Amino acid sequence: MAHCVVEAAEAILDQEFPVLDKGFVRLVDYLGGDERVVQAARVSYGAGTKGYREDAGLIDYLLRNQHTSPFEQVMLTFHVKLPVFVARQWIRHRTARLNEVSGRYSVLKDDFYLPAPEDIALQSQDNKQGRGEALDAGAAEAVREALSAEQRRAYTAYTGLIGQGIARELARINLPLSLYTEWYWQIDLHNLFHFLELRLDAHAQKEIRLYAQALLDISRKVAPRCCESFERHLLGGVSFSGEELAELRRRLGSADTGNLALTGKAALTGKALERFEEKLLSGRQI
């Protein structure tokens, strides 16, 4: 099979999908789509030997059984504008190639992220890395004004140092995490799905979840059947430990309670039980 052209993907090339107040994601380029995954899995077959339903079934089979290499044949390249604090979470996924704008070579733009009033909240009492109760409108606006004032002060100091001829690599060091940066990010479909599975989870910070949703929306244009299978089997599913599976069997009234019966371990209690209950009720949504 020659180069795969996906019309829906061609239609959105270089189109900006807005995220947050000033950010965006856009598809710069892609290599392959659903057909490439199918071709890679059926390397000994010629094109056109299977129908749409059979191809979709094969993609489902591959994803369910973690046969990941065919998905690695599809590559997507994105141009992303995002706040630095989101970028620092994003960069934890080390399975992509990227090139970021450099403050050593360029004067950075006066672009800062300011959260919407409804997104400003107190520290959660039961989640050390998350938000809890939202502030009322007046208190939220006061926080926004404080953040904005600090951003203006920091950028004024930055441009003042640049004006004095101070090296750009030094002038930038006091700029805050709310500053927007940009990069080109290239990743294969298998590793993109892993990124999305983690970053669309309800426990991920809202800002990076919004970027993940934009990535998924774009990826649906490139490989719709693959994305449909991903959403059904990975994004919409959970995995259970041996003890959790035994607890599930117990609740379903199964005579075979698996690992617990064999090991003599007690039923789930405490935090383990809480995590299990959370899985049963889990849903990944923005």
pLDDT tens digits along 79-113:
999 999 999 999 999 999 999 999 999 999 999 99
**In sequence order, which ranges of the chain are alpha helices (DSSP H)?**
7-10, 34-41, 52-64, 84-90, 137-163, 168-171, 189-199, 206-222, 224-230, 242-251, 259-263, 270-281
Q: Smallest Cα–Cα separation from 282: which of 231, 230, 236, 246?
A: 236
pLDDT at 249 over 90: no
Token pair listed for 278 = 């959370």
The question of whether 97 is a catalytic residue gets the answer: no
Write down the catalytic residue from 36, 199, 209, 225: 199
Environment class of residue 34 by beta-carbon count within 10 Å: exposed (0-12), middle (13-18) or buried (19+)?
buried
CB 212 within 8 A of CB 199: yes
**What are the residue boundaries of the structural domains of the chain, listed by start?**
7-105+178-235, 117-174, 242-281
pLDDT at 284 over 50: no
> What is the CATH T-level fold of the domain 7-105+178-235, as seen in this structure?
Gyrase A; domain 2 (3.30.1360)
Q: Smallest Cα–Cα separation from 33: which of 8, 12, 57?
A: 8
Residue in the block written with tokens 């719709």? 224
CB 56 within 8 A of CB 37: no
Name the pTM for this structure: 0.87
pLDDT digits (tens, 9 = 90+) for 41-63: 987 455 545 676 788 899 999 99
